[in-house]
Amino acid sequence: MTNVSVLSRVDIFMELKKTQLELVASICEEKTYQQGDLIFAEHTTGDELYVIAEGEVHIQVDPAFVKGGGGGGLQTIAILRRGQSFGEVALVDQGIRSAAARSAANNTQLLVIPREKLMLLCDTYPQLGYRLMRNLAEDLAQKMRNVDLQIRGHLIWGQQQAEEPADD
C-alpha cells in the first residue's frame, strides 16, 4: 500500500485531491515499531503527526501524573488501528503531550509527518491548508466529544457505586 493510499483513508486528509495527498506523502517518514515500543512519552514535547499504515497503537496515561491519582501503572484510553491518526494536538500548539503512545503489535508501521514541513505545505498551498485544518478541527472535536462521554460515564458509574448500599 502506498503512502498516498494510506493517507487517503485518514479522516484528517479526507477530500484532499490526489496531488495534495502526494504532497503530504512526500514529507512523510516511515517508521516501524515492535510490540511494546514507546512511540512517545506522556508529558514530553511533540511536533509530529502520526498515521497508522499497519498495526495497532495504544494511547496511554499514567494516573500518577494526576494529583491524587493512584498507582496501578499505565491505563490504555484508546486503541488505534490502520487508517487512524494521533498526535494532532502537537500540530496545533506544539505543547506537552497529554498521553503516551505505544506500539501494541509487531511491525506496526507509521507515517510520521513533521509539523514544520506540514505547515510549510499549508502556507504554500492554501486550499490544502484550509481543508486540512478544517478536517483537523472536526477530528479533534469528535475526540473531545468521546472523552466527554467517557468522563460522564465514569462520573455516573462512580456515583452509582457510591450510592449503592453495602452488602451485609
Q: What's 36's domain CATH number? A: 2.60.120.10
Does the residue 168 lie in any domain?
no
Does the residue 112 lie in any domain?
yes
Confidence class of residue 38 from pLDDT cuts 50, 70 and 90? very high
- Tell me the one-letter amino acid at 92: V
CB 86 within 8 A of CB 50: yes
Q: How many domains are contained in the chain?
A: 1
- Tell me the one-letter amino acid at 75: Q
- Condensed to tens digits (0 to 9), the pLDDT of residues 96-141 reads 898 999 999 999 999 999 999 999 999 999 999 999 999 999 998 9
- Tell me the one-letter amino acid at 83: G
Does the residue 142 lie in any domain?
yes
- Note down the domain range covering 42: 3-163
Does the residue 109 lie in any domain?
yes
Does the residue 103 lie in any domain?
yes
pTM (two decimals): 0.84
Which among 56, 57, 53 is positioned nearest to 4, based on CA atoms? 53
Q: Does 158 score more than 70 pLDDT?
A: no
CB 36 within 8 A of CB 103: yes
DSSP the chain: --HHHHHHTSGGGTT--HHHHHHHHHT-EEEEE-TT-EEE-TTSB--EEEEEEESEEEEEE-GGGSTT---S--EEEEEEETT-EE-HHHHHH--B-SSEEEE-STTEEEEEEEHHHHHHHHHHSHHHHHHHHHHHHHHHHHHHHHHHHHHHHHHHHHHHHHHSPPP-
- Condensed to tens digits (0 to 9), the pLDDT of residues 40-84 reads 999 999 999 999 999 999 999 988 876 555 566 788 988 999 999
Residue 148: C-alpha distances to residues 113, 132, 152, 154, 162 (Å): 28, 24, 6, 10, 21
Does the residue 62 lie in any domain?
yes
Does the residue 78 lie in any domain?
yes
Does the residue 72 lie in any domain?
yes
Report d(CA 108, CA 53) in Å as an integer: 8
